Amino acid sequence: MADEIPKMDLKSKDITEEQKQKLKQLFPEVFTEDKIDFEKLRQTLGEEIEDEKERYELSWAGKSQCIKVAQERTTATLKPCREESVNFDTTENLFIEGDNLEVLKLLQKSYSQDGGKIKMIYIDPPYNTGNDFVYNDKFGEELQNYLKLTGQTDEEGRKLTTNTEASGRYHSNWLNMMYPRLVLAKNLLREEGVIFVSIDDHEVDHLRQIMDEIFGEENHLSTLVWDLRGGTSAGHFTRAHEYILVYSKNKNLLPNFPASDNSPITGRTTIRPTKVNPITQIEFPAGMRFEGRDAIFSGIIGDAEPVRILSEKMIFENGKLKYGVTLESAWRMRDQMINWIGGKETFDSKGQKVLEIYFNEKGIPWYKKERGFINPKSVVRTGSTKEGTLELEDIFGTRVIQFPKPSSLIKYLVDIPTIQDRDDITLDFFAGSGTTAHAVLDLNKEDGGNRRFIMVQLPEPTPEDSEALKAGYDTIADIGKERIRRVIRKIKEEQKTDQKKLNEEEKPPHDLGFKVFKLDKSNFRIWDVSSDELTQSTLSEHVETVEKSSTPEDLLYELILKDGLELTEKIEEKELAGKKIYAIMDTMLICLEKELTLELVREMAKLKPSRIICLDEGFRGNDQLKSNAAKIFSDLGEQVIFKTV
């Protein structure tokens, strides 16, 4: 029975297998011995599968390889860094330092469950201007590349390079970087989630094409034009704008964006006569509200939008229509007016509820509707890069980064999809100086929300002789973390000055903290005969499965991550039978003890967990103890999962 205990999977999510299982659920008949019979699939779908090689698509050098990169699994982990965090044990915000490709893979198990957990993604990737850094992924060697690049595996490390046109693969390099990251990001989005991507003219066309391919052309919501409110000379014209591409994961499941202002909207019910709105008649019953007190109207009223009174007179007394009246006009919302007058619950074409039809002081029929939704304009005139630079100067006292996005712009974007559910998660995996985290914290301060953020940033070295390096910030990630700390301190100071008001309003304090994690190799020694010769020394190394430098907290968070739980789950440390265990969500137990006992196993079973993870090393080759543990946990029910690592 001991041999039947499943081992913990220490790799990231198997995306290929998941996709295959989805296909199997839809078309089980196309599988033979667990292999896809593409001829059967073609027959099942009729003419839907295109057989011709010539079709519309964007192709570039390395595309097939970069698609494989998104599917490849990683054994890396994320190690907690308490000393760089704020309120580590209570916060639900994350700052992850590492190569975002590896990090996105690691987040798949935890944040792609149930169709995805991220409501909004914003990224400001390298624009590929020839001067900015482009991640140089080595297919199949992402973690090794990252560790070398950051100086973790050799003394010299690797220098970051720019992607110049002289490289010969100018656009291809950039597309190879972006494609797998966007594929992985899509998996993390909720079905009604939205992604915003900043870009300029250098790659906007290519970005639009790969996002059409990944998210589906039908899910393109808009290409926003961000007015820079200034600009720099660029050839024959002044560059005064950038773009923000907006896509949903599933447009059919995304309702119109709710309005932040809940006050009702009012407007006229008539327009000039047109072919679309012919002149028709509506009967208005006595008793309808009038904005004035007493008045009498006859003939034609209204100038730009005339209304003809077909009855002899229209009389109002004490703020109400005294007698029923028939009016004729080119009604803008005739059907809705008739429905509302008839006592039916009425909604307009945008789904906004009609609250009232009434007469204004000039006798013109008006409507009042719920302000249920907004339609943001495609031209955004919020903030500027100059504002972003000054904002950072104000925070740090020096110009640590040139021309970052202003927090006001990101606040505007984050607010659009999260205004209603203000506890959503926002992800930025090109976090830079931490503007998105700043925006989320400010938004929560302003409206009492509890939005959470996940920031991912490569520890990209700051340039030599830069103000940032002189100020003591070795990497861009260091700047981002320090910015968040300073924003939190500022908000706390503001709260202290108005603590009495906060207590009176009894508003729950929003999350003012963040956990820092850093990308690293697994804490567990993973058997790899492909890279090591099978020698006695190799075998002896794997007797001890845990890396000697790893702390219990390192192990704990790797198991949480690899088991598909969020990195912000509350962890309770317990003592049972003289040993230490960790309880997560009152349903999962993790034991890292290297000397397990039968008494400990029985005490753990008394807590009736649904999942148990123990170190295989803890059984020390005692097969009888392992068999007893398997039996005791299996007696809790078939739904209970017991694994070792």
Average pLDDT over residues 147-161: 56
Q: What is the pLDDT of residue 153?
A: 52
Average pLDDT over residues 106-114: 92
Average pLDDT over residues 129-148: 62
Separation between Cα atoms, residue 140 and residue 277, nearest integer Å: 62
CA dist 1 → 4, 613, 621, 626, 645 (Å): 5, 16, 14, 8, 16
Q: Smallest Cα–Cα separation from 478: which of 114, 43, 37, 97?
A: 97
Tens-digit pLDDT profile for residues 486-518: 999 999 998 887 665 555 555 556 899 999 999
SS3 content of the chain, % helix, strand, coil (to 5): 35, 25, 40
Q: Which band of pLDDT confidence, cut at 50, 70 and 90, is reported for residue 560? A: very high
Average pLDDT over residues 369-380: 84
Tens-digit pLDDT profile for residues 160-208: 566 666 555 778 889 999 999 999 999 999 999 999 999 999 899 999 9
Half-sphere exposure of residue 98: CA atoms within 13 angstroms, side-chain side? 29
At a CB cut-off of 8 Å and minimum separation 6, what does 41 contact? 27, 30, 49
Give yes or no for residue 368 having a pLDDT over 80: yes
CA dist 629 → 35, 576, 615, 636 (Å): 37, 15, 12, 11
Separation between Cα atoms, residue 291 and residue 358, nearest integer Å: 8
CA dist 567 → 85, 516, 571 (Å): 14, 10, 10
**Contact assessment for residue 313 and residue 369, using Cβ atoms and an 8 Å cutoff:** no
Separation between Cα atoms, residue 158 and residue 147, nearest integer Å: 9
Q: What is the pLDDT of residue 25?
A: 82
**Contact assessment for residue 310 and residue 328, using Cβ atoms and an 8 Å cutoff:** yes
Q: What is the pLDDT of residue 43?
A: 75
Q: What is the pLDDT of residue 140?
A: 44
Q: What is the 3-state secondary structure (H, E, C) of 129-193?
A: CCCCECCCCCCCCHHHHHHHHCCCCCCCCCCCCECCHHHCCHHHHHHHHHHHHHHHHHHHEEEEE
Angle between helices 15-26 and 63-71 (to 10 degrees): 90
Give yes or no for residue 77 having a pLDDT over 60: yes
The DSSP-derived string for 248-271 is ES-GGG-PPEEPS--S-EEEESEE
Q: What is the 3-state secondary structure (H, E, C) of 436-458?
A: HHHHHHHHHHHHCCCCEEEEEEC
Q: What is the pLDDT of residue 347?
A: 87
Q: What is the pLDDT of residue 157?
A: 44
Residue labelled with tokens 């499965």: 545
Question: Which of 122-136, 149-163, 465-479 is the most confident on average?
Answer: 465-479
Give yes or no for residue 541 having a pLDDT over 70: no
Query: Of all helices (H) and strands (E), which one includes residue 464?
Result: none
DSSP 507: P
Q: What is the pLDDT of residue 48?
A: 58
Q: Smallest Cα–Cα separation from 388: which of 412, 408, 413?
A: 408
Where is pLDDT greater, at 460 or 143?
460
The domain spans of the chain are 71-228+237-259+376-519, 266-371, 528-644
Q: What is the pLDDT of residue 17?
A: 85
CA dist 124 → 242, 410, 485 (Å): 11, 10, 21
Average pLDDT, the chain: 86
Average pLDDT over residues 393-398: 94
Where is pLDDT greater, at 536 or 249?
249
Average pLDDT over residues 285-310: 91
Q: What is the pLDDT of residue 161?
A: 62
Q: What is the pLDDT of residue 642?
A: 96
Give yes or no for residue 540 having a pLDDT over 50: no
Q: What is the pLDDT of residue 481?
A: 98
Percent of the chain residues topping a pLDDT of 70: 85
CATH fold of 71-228+237-259+376-519, please?
Answer: Rossmann fold (3.40.50)
Which of 140-154, 342-356, 485-499, 554-568 has the weakest average pLDDT? 140-154
Where is pLDDT greater, at 124 or 621?
124
Tens-digit pLDDT profile for residues 239-275: 899 999 999 999 998 888 877 666 677 777 776 656 5
**Contact assessment for residue 188 and residue 111, using Cβ atoms and an 8 Å cutoff:** yes
Average pLDDT over residues 440-447: 93
Q: What is the pLDDT of residue 333?
A: 86
Question: 150: how many CB neighbours lie within 10 A of its CB?
Answer: 23
Predicted TM-score of the model (pTM): 0.82
Separation between Cα atoms, residue 316 and residue 351, nearest integer Å: 32
Q: What is the pLDDT of residue 221?
A: 97
Separation between Cα atoms, residue 645 and residue 643, nearest integer Å: 7
Where is pLDDT greater, at 136 or 96?
96
- Residue 249 dihedral angles phi and psi, to the nearest 5°: -75, -40
Q: Which band of pLDDT confidence, cut at 50, 70 and 90, is reported for residue 233? A: confident
Q: What is the pLDDT of residue 503?
A: 57
**Contact assessment for residue 121 and residue 428, using Cβ atoms and an 8 Å cutoff:** yes
One-letter amino acid of 60:
W
Q: What is the pLDDT of residue 37?
A: 81
At a CB cut-off of 8 Å and minimum separation 6, what does 108 contact? 12, 13, 15, 184, 187, 188
Separation between Cα atoms, residue 95 and residue 83, nearest integer Å: 13
Q: What is the pLDDT of residue 530?
A: 45
Q: What is the pLDDT of residue 23?
A: 85
Q: What is the pLDDT of residue 30?
A: 81
Q: Smallest Cα–Cα separation from 560: which of 3, 2, 10, 4?
A: 10
